[in-house]
Structure 1
Amino acid sequence: MKDLFSKQSDAYAKYRPTYPTELFEFILKYVPGREAAWDCATGNGQVAVALADYFERVEATDISEQQLAQAEPAQRVHYQVSRAEETTFPAESFNLVTVGQALHWFNFETFHSEVKRVLKPGGVLAVWGYELLEISPEIDPLILDFYTTVVGPYWAPERHHIQEKYTKIPFPYQEVQVPVFSMIKHWSLEELSGYFSSWSSVQAYKEANGEDPVPELIDQISPLWDVDQVQEIEFPIFMRLGINA
């Protein structure tokens, strides 16, 4: 599993979007118990904290100490540094395993072996990610050009799994059909800029070129944005959900 987010862990924690309650409620319809959940590659802990409202115990792991340092403390949530593919959890420990916006970094075969080991029979694996944000017909093409042309060459190769909505990743479970979800945020232009700065491709661009590409994008967007107002931003979510039969 790669670690591309430690350097910008503060920005990642501050500006990353949060997942809707409806997503968790859908997943939980298929989970047979509420004893324990494992949030793998938890990052800043946003999923783990949400799961703590439903489970007696939540284990939250990540390979980045810097990311975990930004995580929100919460009752029933235990954070620890751990690889996704190899943990110290006992067999058949969890009713649910979740991975938000991180599965594409894993070694799929060894991760699935670990999931099958630690999930209880009938337990659930839910993995999801989100697509490129959508704002307006005028702004979206500017963001798409930035994503594909400006910083496009600086995305890690695994990024193609996001574009393919995880459909080409092995998923050896009894799969459940899922509806479409979206994250809706209301951001200022400054918050939008902060979100772009959290992209791993932006960090790679800065290292390679010695300059930040985000201000030029914000300059392009500014005439299309009321700087005194927040604007609605949508992140379409894709998900795969499977039962450990």
Structure 2
Amino acid sequence: MSGFKDHFSGVAQGYATYRPRYRPQLAADLVALCAQHRLAWDVGCGSGQFSALLPAVFERVVATDASAEQVAAAIPHPQIEYRAARAEASGLPDGSVDLITVAQAAHWFDLPAFYAECARVAAPGCLLALITYAHMRLPDPLMPLFWHFYEDVLGPFWPPDRRHVEQGYATLPFPFEPLALPPQTLEAAWGLDQVLGYVDTWSAVRGLLKAEGDGRLQAFKVAFGKTWLETQGAGAQLPLDWPVTVRVGRVRPG
């Protein structure tokens, strides 16, 4: 499928393996605001990191992504129908959806066209949730190394749309009356290989490799790995967290 901002098809398997997983509480908090629990549409689903939570609280889930490679990397589930589809062209029937979720993907969308699609497919009372998380928090002295690579080395290679993530989606147009949600975080216990695998999935890393080759990426990995081994130990599993922001609104009145 052409014509979309495709930063992740080439790293679909790494994305499936190394991206953090959302807490079930987030899905539970969203479903508590929903009028009905029949059909959820997870948009820009990637390899299903958020989609996987929805069958516990919805009868049926349709998860779409413009990248066929990402969808192919998702773990199958009998209640989830994965589709390769653009955000603004879901193929869902009019007035059929009770919850629309977008996890770490809305900043790549043509938002006016997507919001028009939301209005078309929304059932009465349908909820829309745009979910995003910023960078992970690491202990010193790992965090300064991580931040230097993230900001100083990769800074010129982050796509412009990424700024919306840094700003917690506060700058994204959101033409819906906001609803409150409890504070949210992502949490994981990761070893060195998982942290470095996560870094490899970033869109800016693709830009760095294309522009310069892998010299500065490998230099970061060597320095970060050396500091990890000296301060945490070879087999350390560090507790990590990512702050999560969720913008929630009602697409159609109930």
Q: TM-score, normalised by structure 1?
A: 0.96
Q: Which position in structure 1 is the counterpart of 2:109?
A: 106
> Contact conserved, 1:46 with 1:72, CA < 8 A, in 2?
no
Q: Deviations over 1:122-164 (max 9, x none)?
A: 1100111111110113221211111111111111110010011
Letter of the 1:129 partner, please give it.
T
In 1, the alpha carbon distance for the partners of 2:33 and 2:58 equals 14
Q: Say yes or no: does 1:156 pair with 2:159.
A: yes
The residue aligned with 1:225 is 232
Does the CA-based 8 Å contact 2:64-2:90 persist in structure 1? no
Question: Any idea what SS the aligned residue of 1:96 has?
Answer: strand
Q: Counterparts of 1:178 and 1:213 in 2: how far apart (Å)?
A: 40
Number of the residue aligned with 2:198: 195
Greater CA drift, 69-78 or 135-144: 135-144
Counterpart AA for 1:241: V
Give deviations 1:183-226, integer Å, cap 9, x for gaps: 11111111111110111111111111121533322332232331
**How big is the alpha-carbon RMSD for the aligned residues of Structure 1 and Structure 2?**
1.2
Is 1:239 paired with 2:254? no
Structure 2 residue ranges without an equivalent (≥5): none
Aligned letter for 1:10?
A: Q
Mapped to 2, the partners of 1:19 and 1:228 lie a distance apart of 24
Tell whether the 8 Å contact from 2:28 to 2:57 is kept in structure 1 after alignment: no
Task: Pick closer, same or farther for the CA change 1:212–1:48 going to 2, 3 Å.
Answer: farther
8 Å contact kept, 1:37–1:57: yes
TM-score under structure 2 length normalisation: 0.93
Q: State the alpha-carbon separation in 1 of the partners of residues 247 and 86 from structure 2.
A: 21
The answer as to whether partners of 1:205 and 1:212 remain within 8 angstroms in 2 is no
Moved more, 47-56 or 13-22: 47-56
Q: Which residue in the other structure is 1:65 paired with?
A: 68
How many residues are aligned here? 245
Alpha-carbon distance in 2 for matches of 1:213, 1:91: 49
Q: How does 1:18-167 map to 2 (within 5 A)?
A: 18-167=21-170
